[in-house]
């Protein structure tokens, strides 16, 4: 009996022990991502979301000792902060404590138990308040362990900072006026709200905008049923799904990733730049997927009213059909400043004498002064617009299923962009007489049509005979060996023609000696001045480089690229015929004490801007994606107006649309301009050209060469010298002494900052050329650069070079990448 009683007691004890252990383990597990009323976490302690993706705790931003409560990625990118609670009220030391009271209010207290920050709950207090960090990155307060988002008492997703995460909602509640929007950090060290915000503007038809204070910098556009109209989209997005809500109660937008293994974020940085990035597990880094401000046409109202912007045209702005430049003093094609926009050629009649011109492939105008109705079709939309004299255009509100709904504009049409693919249709109101004039262009009378038919027959016959003669001529040329086996997309000039033009390559006509041979000035019989690059037989540029330059540059047309007129091949001799540049090359001016004085600060900025635009064109806007690989001062030619033109595409390489970098065993280029990853590992990309551009900018500012630079106080090259001055907060000492009376201090500091960002050691840290242009032209706060690559010249010598061929300034190096 006693034994049985003892056994029962032992069994009861074990049951209690098991229950206690179970409660302990459950409590411990929950404590990893949860705290309940009366509990807290101190500085040094953290909460981790159930899947281990996010972590919450106290942290200090880079170069700061202040402590903030924040959320950051834990699983993939430790230290990437996505949310901060006490943005404007830091804790000065490690005494901070986060707690939750029995009413569900979160509080941060400092060492003196003063409240630094607290949450506000808009609902009734909970019976069992719990604060939990979810695997979405959302920190929520709820009643017990209820997982229904509608029952949350408070959530961090309602108070975004600089990061827009999947599942987060941005927008405005029309009933309460509550506005969820992104706001940049004030700086890299200070998470307080900065001057940039990304939000949905509720005026007219709501649209996504980026603002600096009250001013709009960038407009993503209104929702068209599939995407925001500021984007050019032709196919569904395989990575994201989107949800846009617009009703009498709210306007909101959120996105989700279709694959839970993909980590994505939007970031509004302290400089006002918006990036969408995806975590690249292979590189173990964030990879920028897209940038809101991708080019000059992304600047809000870049071309003023009634004008469109097109990145592939020069100039990018042009008036709509039926409109003309508003400023009489600025011809259509010459003025850079289009802020005054365009005006109508013929005033509207407003009495039934108006009609509409259809424009296709557009980013539709600013909708802040517009009106919409989803139930009206396009035909009735036109009738509505004609009834109101203030109505200037109309379009479909929703582009799905062929389009439906009505969107009307009142007042000026601004911030329009021409897309090469995608875009929307816009019907623009014009006076009927003006529209008839536009539509009559190109229409012919019967007599004119008959004349054209006769002329076409004659021309066709002539072309046939000419083609036959050309075929015979080519056969003869091949037999004589005068022409190579390759067919080029440029005119092939006779050797005799080039010899006559250059006075038989007279010494008096010689313009200079490049890395691949002499360059001569010539004049063709019709009076066209040319520059002839005669490739020496023993030069480093062989047949492949020659073919490369001819075929690539033939497809490129931009005001900041040198124009190639043709080529000449005579047995094993090859020549390139360019447009003549009367002011020679950039190095002729900036590295000469006397001639450098001819380039004041304004001229140098003009040259920097032109070079940047030329590189942007070959990287992003041309039919091909080109990596130049030999950007240097001697390859920047100057025309009669000192406009810069990039030349010498012999070493350039074409990239595919999705290609970001390539590898080579034959590293070619010029020391002092080549990026570290290219010299040491044979890796080249657009960021290699960005590095070369940064070197060029520093040389233009300083009037000194990067390679061969010497200073009595140190052994650094120009990059190292510029970095040293920057870190010592005396960057203006880099400036060419000849510019002391002409420079703009703000512009100089911005230029040096951008140049140092371009020459950073890691390619991923360097901006792309679209961002470079925005930073050069804008007024945003720029990020602080990191140490440049090739901090001192002798770092280059760590490369395992098998052979080095030096030809004047050019250097071709054969390396075996590591």
- CA torsion sign for 766, 769, 773, 779 is negative
Q: Which residues contact residue 387 at a Cβ distance below 8 angstroms, ignoring those fewer than 6 apart?
A: none
CB 596 within 8 A of CB 561: no
CB 399 within 8 A of CB 424: yes
Cα–Cα–Cα angle for 626, 631, 633, nearest 5°?
150
Active site annotation includes 630: yes
Cα–Cα–Cα angle for 511, 517, 521, nearest 5°?
25
CB 370 within 8 A of CB 410: yes
Cα–Cα–Cα angle for 608, 610, 612, nearest 5°?
70
Instruction: At 814, give phi and psi (nearest 5°).
Output: -95, 115
CB 165 within 8 A of CB 265: yes
Which run of H or of E encompasses 464?
A: helix 446-480
Nearest to 415 by CA among 370, 480, 472, 446: 370
Q: What tokens does 794 get?
A: 């002798």
Q: What tokens does 261 get?
A: 């293994």
Q: Give the whole-angstrom CA distance, residue 209 versus residue 762.
A: 31
Residue with tokens 């050309």: 470
Q: Give the whole-angstrom CA distance, residue 715 versus residue 628.
A: 30
User: Cα separations (Å) of 352 from 345, 381, 383, 394?
Assistant: 18, 15, 10, 16
Q: Give the whole-angstrom CA distance, residue 166 versus residue 264.
A: 7
Q: Give the whole-angstrom CA distance, residue 248 versus residue 64.
A: 45
Nearest to 319 by CA among 298, 300, 333, 336: 333
Say what angle helices 769-777 and 745-758 make with each other, to 10 degrees: 170
Burial group, residue 334, by CB count within 10 angstroms (0-12, 13-18, 19+): exposed
- CA torsion sign for 737, 742, 746, 747 is negative
**Secondary structure (3-state) at 254:** strand
Nearest to 340 by CA among 355, 327, 354, 321: 327
Q: Give the whole-angstrom CA distance, residue 227 versus residue 758.
A: 33
Nearest to 363 by CA among 290, 401, 311, 433: 311
Q: What is the largest CA-CA distance in the chain?
A: 129
Neighbours of 149 (CB within 10 A): 14
Q: Which of 354, 630, 648, 736 is catalytic?
A: 630
Q: Give the whole-angstrom CA distance, residue 74 versus residue 555.
A: 47
Q: What tokens does 550 get?
A: 């001819």
Q: What tokens does 569 get?
A: 């091949």
Which residue numbers are catalytic?
A: 630
């Amino acid at each position: 009996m006693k034994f049985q009683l003892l056994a029962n007691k032992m069994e009861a004890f074990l049951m209690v022990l098991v229950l206690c252990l179970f409660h302990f383990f459950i409590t411990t597990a929950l404590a990893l991502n949860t705290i309940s009323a009366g509990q807290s976490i101190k500085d040094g302690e953290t909460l981790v979301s159930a899947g281990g993706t996010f972590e919450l705790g106290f942290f200090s931003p880079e170069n700061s000792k202040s402590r903030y409560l924040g959320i950051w990625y834990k699983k993939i990118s430790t230290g990437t902060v996505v949310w901060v609670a006490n943005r404007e009220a830091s804790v000065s030391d490690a005494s901070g404590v986060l707690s939750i009271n029995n009413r569900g209010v979160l509080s941060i207290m400092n060492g003196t138990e003063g409240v630094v920050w607290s949450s506000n709950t808009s609902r009734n207090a909970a019976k069992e308040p719990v604060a939990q960090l979810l695997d979405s990155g959302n920190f929520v307060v709820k009643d017990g362990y209820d997982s229904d988002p509608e029952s949350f008492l408070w959530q961090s997703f309602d108070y975004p900072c600089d990061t827009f995460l999947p599942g987060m909602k941005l927008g405005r509640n029309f009933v309460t006026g509550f506005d969820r929007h992104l706001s940049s950090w004030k700086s890299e060290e200070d998470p307080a709200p900065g001057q940039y915000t990304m939000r949905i503007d509720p005026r007219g038809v709501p649209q996504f905008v980026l603002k600096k204070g009250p001013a709009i910098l960038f407009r993503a556009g209104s929702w068209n049923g599939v995407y925001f109209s500021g984007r050019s989209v032709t196919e569904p997005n395989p990575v994201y799904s989107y949800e846009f809500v617009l009703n009498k109660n709210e306007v909101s937008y959120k996105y989700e990733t279709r694959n839970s293994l993909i980590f994505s974020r939007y970031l509004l940085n302290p400089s006002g730049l918006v990036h969408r990035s995806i975590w690249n597990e292979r590189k173990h880094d964030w990879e920028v997927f897209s940038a809101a401000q991708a080019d000059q046409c992304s600047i809000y109202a870049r071309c003023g009213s009634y004008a469109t912007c097109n990145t592939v045209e020069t100039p990018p702005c042009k008036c709509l059909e039926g409109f003309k430049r508003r400023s009489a003093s600025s011809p259509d094609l010459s003025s850079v400043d289009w802020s005054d926009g365009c005006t109508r050629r013929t005033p509207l009649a407003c009495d039934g004498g108006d009609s509409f011109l259809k424009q296709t492939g557009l980013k539709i105008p600013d909708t802040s002064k517009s009106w919409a109705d989803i139930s009206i079709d396009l035909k009735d939309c036109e009738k509505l617009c004609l009834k109101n004299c203030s109505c200037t255009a109309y379009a479909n509100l929703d582009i799905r299923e062929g389009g439906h709904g009505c969107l009307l504009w009142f007042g000026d049409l601004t911030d329009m962009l021409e897309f090469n693919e995608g875009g929307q249709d816009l019907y623009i109101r014009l006076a009927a007489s003006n529209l008839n004039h536009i539509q009559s262009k190109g229409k012919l009378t019967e007599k004119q049509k008959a004349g054209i038919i006769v002329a076409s027959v004659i021309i066709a016959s002539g072309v046939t005979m000419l083609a036959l003669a050309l075929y015979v001529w080519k056969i003869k040329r091949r037999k004589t060996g005068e022409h190579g086996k390759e067919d080029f997309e440029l005119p092939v000039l006779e050797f005799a023609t080039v010899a006559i033009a250059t006075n038989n390559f007279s010494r008096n006509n010689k313009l200079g000696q490049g890395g691949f041979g002499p360059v001569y000035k010539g004049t063709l019989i019709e009076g066209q001045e040319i520059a002839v690059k005669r490739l020496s037989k023993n030069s480093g540029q062989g047949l492949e480089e020659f073919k490369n330059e001819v075929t690539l540059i033939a497809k490129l047309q931009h005001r900041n690229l040198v124009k190639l007129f043709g080529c000449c091949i005579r047995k094993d001799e090859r020549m390139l015929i360019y447009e003549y540049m009367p002011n020679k090359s950039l190095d002729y001016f900036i590295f000469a004490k006397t001639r450098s004085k001819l380039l004041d600060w304004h001229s140098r900025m003009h040259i920097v801007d032109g070079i940047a635009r030329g590189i942007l064109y070959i990287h992003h806007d041309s039919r091909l994606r080109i990596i130049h690989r030999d950007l240097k001062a001697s390859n920047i030619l100057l025309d009669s107006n000192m406009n810069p033109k990039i030349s010498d595409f012999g070493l350039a390489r074409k990239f595919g649309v999705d290609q970001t970098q390539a590898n080579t065993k034959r590293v070619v280029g010029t020391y002092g301009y080549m990026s570290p990853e290219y010299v040491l590992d044979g890796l080249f990309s657009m960021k290699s050209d960005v590095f070369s551009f940064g070197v060029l900018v520093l040389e233009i500012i300083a009037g000194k060469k990067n390679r061969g630079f010497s200073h009595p106080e140190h052994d650094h090259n120009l990059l190292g010298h510029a970095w040293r001055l920057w870190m010592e907060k005396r960057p203006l000492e880099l400036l060419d002494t000849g510019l002391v009376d002409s420079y703009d201090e703000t512009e100089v500091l911005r230029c040096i900052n951008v140049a140092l960002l371009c020459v950073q050691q890691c390619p991923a840290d360097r901006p792309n050329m679209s961002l470079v242009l925005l930073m050069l032209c804008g007024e945003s706060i720029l990020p602080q650069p990191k140490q440049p690559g090739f901090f001192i010249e002798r770092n280059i010598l760590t490369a395992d070079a098998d052979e080095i061929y030096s030809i004047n300034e050019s250097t071709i190096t054969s390396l075996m990448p590591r």
